[in-house]
Structure 1
Amino acid sequence: MNNKVAIVTGAASGIGLAIAETLSKEGAKVVFADINEELLKKVSGECNGEYFVGDLSKRESCKGLVDFALEKFGKVDILVNVAGIQNVSPIEEFPEDKWDFMISLMLTAPFLLTKYVWPSMKENKWGRIINISSIHGLVASEFKSAYVSAKHGLIGFTKTAGLEGGPHGITVNAICPAYVRTPLVDGQIADQARTHGISEDQVISEIMLQKAAIKKMLDPSSVAELVKFLCTDAADSMTGSAITMDGGWTAN
Structure 2
Amino acid sequence: MVADTMRAEPSLLRMSGKVAVITGSTSGIGLGIARALAGAGAHVVLNGFGAAKEIDRIRSDIAVEFGVRTFYAAADMMQPAAIEQMINDVLQEFGRIDVLVNNAGIQHVAPLEAFPVDKWNAIVAINLSSAFHTIRLALPAMRQNGFGRIINVASAHGLVASPFKAAYVAAKHGIIGLTKVAALEAAEGGITCNAICPGYVYTPLVEAQIDGQARAHGISRDQVIRDVLLAQQPNKRFATVEEIGALSVFLASEAAASITGIALPVDGGWTAH
Stretch moving more, 53-62 or 36-45: 36-45
Cα separation, 2, equivalents of 1:97 and 1:203: 30
**Equivalence for 1:141:** 162
Cα separation, 2, equivalents of 1:217 and 1:189: 12
**Equivalence for 2:59:** 44
Cα shift at 1:90: 1.8
Cα shift at 1:198: 6.5
**Equivalence for 1:182:** 203
TM-score calculated relative to the size of structure 2: 0.87
Cα shift at 1:242: 0.2
Stretch moving more, 86-95 or 165-174: 86-95
Instruction: Determine if contact 1:86/1:184 at 8 Å carries over to the other structure.
Output: no
Letter of the structure 1 residue corresponding to residue 58 of structure 2: V
Cα separation, 2, equivalents of 1:235 and 1:200: 42
Cα separation, 1, equivalents of 2:157 and 2:41: 32
Stretch moving more, 40-49 or 171-180: 40-49
Letter of the structure 2 residue corresponding to residue 42 of structure 1: R
Cα shift at 1:206: 2.0
Corresponding position: 1:16 with 2:33 = no
Structure-2 change in CA distance of 1:166 and 1:149 (3 Å): same
Instruction: Determine if contact 1:34/1:54 at 8 Å carries over to the other structure.
Output: yes
Structure-2 change in CA distance of 1:4 and 1:230 (3 Å): same
SS in 1 for 2:261: coil
Letter of the structure 1 residue corresponding to residue 21 of structure 2: I
Corresponding position: 1:33 with 2:47 = yes
Structure-2 change in CA distance of 1:116 and 1:180 (3 Å): same
TM-score calculated relative to the size of structure 1: 0.94
Cα separation, 1, equivalents of 2:220 and 2:236: 16
SS in 2 for 1:75: coil
Instruction: Determine if contact 1:36/1:53 at 8 Å carries over to the other structure.
Output: no
Letter of the structure 2 residue corresponding to residue 46 of structure 1: D
Structure-2 change in CA distance of 1:57 and 1:193 (3 Å): farther
Return the index of the structure with the highest Cα Rg: 2
User: Which ranges of 4 or more aligned residues in structure 1 deviate by more than 4 Å?
Assistant: 187-194, 196-200
Cα shift at 1:250: 1.5
Letter of the structure 2 residue corresponding to residue 208 of structure 1: L
Cα shift at 1:183: 2.7
Stretch moving more, 169-178 or 86-95: 86-95
Corresponding position: 1:228 with 2:228 = no
Corresponding position: 1:53 with 2:74 = yes
SS in 2 for 1:163: helix
1:87-98 aligned at under 5 Å gives the runs: 87-98=108-119
**Equivalence for 2:18:** 4
Superimposed CA distance per residue, residues 155-191 of structure 1 (whole angstroms, 9 cap, x where no aligned partner): 0000110001101111000000100011333455567
Cα separation, 1, equivalents of 2:233 and 2:125: 30
Q: Which runs of 5+ in 2 are unaligned?
A: 1-14, 64-69
How many residues are paired up? Answer: 251
SS in 1 for 2:259: coil
Letter of the structure 1 residue corresponding to residue 262 of structure 2: S
Cα shift at 1:209: 1.4
Structure-2 change in CA distance of 1:106 and 1:192 (3 Å): farther
Cα shift at 1:78: 0.3
**Equivalence for 2:96:** 75
RMSD between superposed Cα atoms in Å: 1.8
Letter of the structure 1 residue corresponding to residue 61 of structure 2: E
Letter of the structure 1 residue corresponding to residue 50 of structure 2: N
Instruction: Determine if contact 1:107/1:153 at 8 Å carries over to the other structure.
Output: yes
Cα shift at 1:248: 1.0
1:158-197 aligned at under 5 Å gives the runs: 158-189=179-210
Structure-2 change in CA distance of 1:27 and 1:11 (3 Å): same
Cα shift at 1:193: 6.9
Cα separation, 2, equivalents of 1:200 and 1:88: 23
**Equivalence for 2:152:** 131
Superimposed CA distance per residue, residues 27-47 of structure 1 (whole angstroms, 9 cap, x where no aligned partner): 111110112242322211111
